[in-house]
Amino acid sequence: MRQANRAPLRVMLMLAALALPGTAWAGAIEVFHADSLAGPMRTLKQAFEAKNPEVTLKLTPGTLKQLAERILKGEVCDVFAPSSPAVVEQDLLGKTVAGSDRIAASWYVVFSGNEMVVITAKGNPLGIGQIADLAKPGIKLARIAAEKDLATARTVEFLSRAAALEGHPELAKTIIDAASATASVPDTVRAVKDGTASAGVVYYSAAVAAKNDLEIVRFADSVNMSEAIRNAALVPGTAANPKEATAFVRFLLTPEAQTLLQDTGQPPVVPALFKGEVPAEVRS
């Protein structure tokens, strides 16, 4: 009789343990991230899920201002990874989520960088090697021109810097004005892939993600915007699963993740930069 009762007792104890706070991980973690982080995030997702099979990362790319607006409106977001800490500072830090007393963001960590590059068709058939080449007859350049996308201003600044360094500052406006406008980084990559454009200006990480189909032309640090492009991560006040989200942010700072970031065109920032009330488990 005692033997017969042991199995149900064990089951009850297991169920009780699973119900205790902090002992079970949630199934899905919603990650909002910059378009430029799409390639790296796919790789990081695979690595994190391999270590934590009970967790699934749901990746939602987009333009930073629009993603920040969704958080401020109260949409569930467990991790926000923008390509500019300035967006966090201006739009989220210390701000209250609509219809609640929750703070949208109280901290963030800067974990990697990026740069602007030129992409061309595989093999670079038109021999594009410098910005001046983009002004040649027959060259069709695609550039991001969305109002709320930070890549818009970064592209303009990159082209202006590079043209000036090459000794032809006047060419920047000519190239910019003649370029076809795209709505996002993915759209620019697609335009070059399908031949709609001869070349495009995108983030290095986006170019690396498509390197099997494209050629990448990189430029000097003095012009490629690398000093200004920094990727951050935080757990917003709208997180449904803050414990698991914090664990993912901590994972971004590990040697394994830093190697993956390097390989996917996102040089890690080491040591990472912290701002605000960063949880101890992230700092450690």
The pLDDT value given to residue 284: 85
| Region of poorest pLDDT, from 18-32, 125-139, 148-162 | 18-32
Q: Which one, of 72, 9, 76, 63, lies nearest residue 36 by Cα?
A: 63
Work out the mean pLDDT of the chain and round it to a whole number: 91
pTM over 0.75: yes
CATH pick for 116-217 out of 3.40.50.300, 3.40.190.10, 3.10.420.10, 3.20.20.140? 3.40.190.10
The pLDDT value given to residue 151: 93
Q: Where are the domains of the chain?
A: 28-113+229-283, 116-217
Whether pLDDT at 25 is above 80: no
Whether pLDDT at 21 is above 90: no
Between 20 and 63, name the one with better pLDDT.
63
28 φ/ψ sector (left φ>0, alpha ψ -120 to 50, else beta): beta
DSSP label of 120:
E
SS (H, E, C) 29-60: EEEEEEHHHHHHHHHHHHHHHHHCCCCEEEEE
Task: Give the pLDDT confidence of 189-202 residue by residue, as tens digits.
Answer: 999 999 999 999 99
CATH T-level fold of 28-113+229-283 = D-Maltodextrin-Binding Protein; domain 2 (3.40.190)
Task: Give the pLDDT confidence of 238-277 residue by residue, as tens digits.
Answer: 999 999 999 999 999 999 999 999 999 999 999 999 999 9
The pLDDT value given to residue 18: 37
Question: Do 116-217 and 28-113+229-283 fall under one CATH topology?
Answer: yes
The pLDDT value given to residue 26: 61
Task: Give the pLDDT confidence of 67-112 residue by residue, as tens digits.
Answer: 999 999 999 999 999 999 999 999 999 999 999 999 999 999 999 9
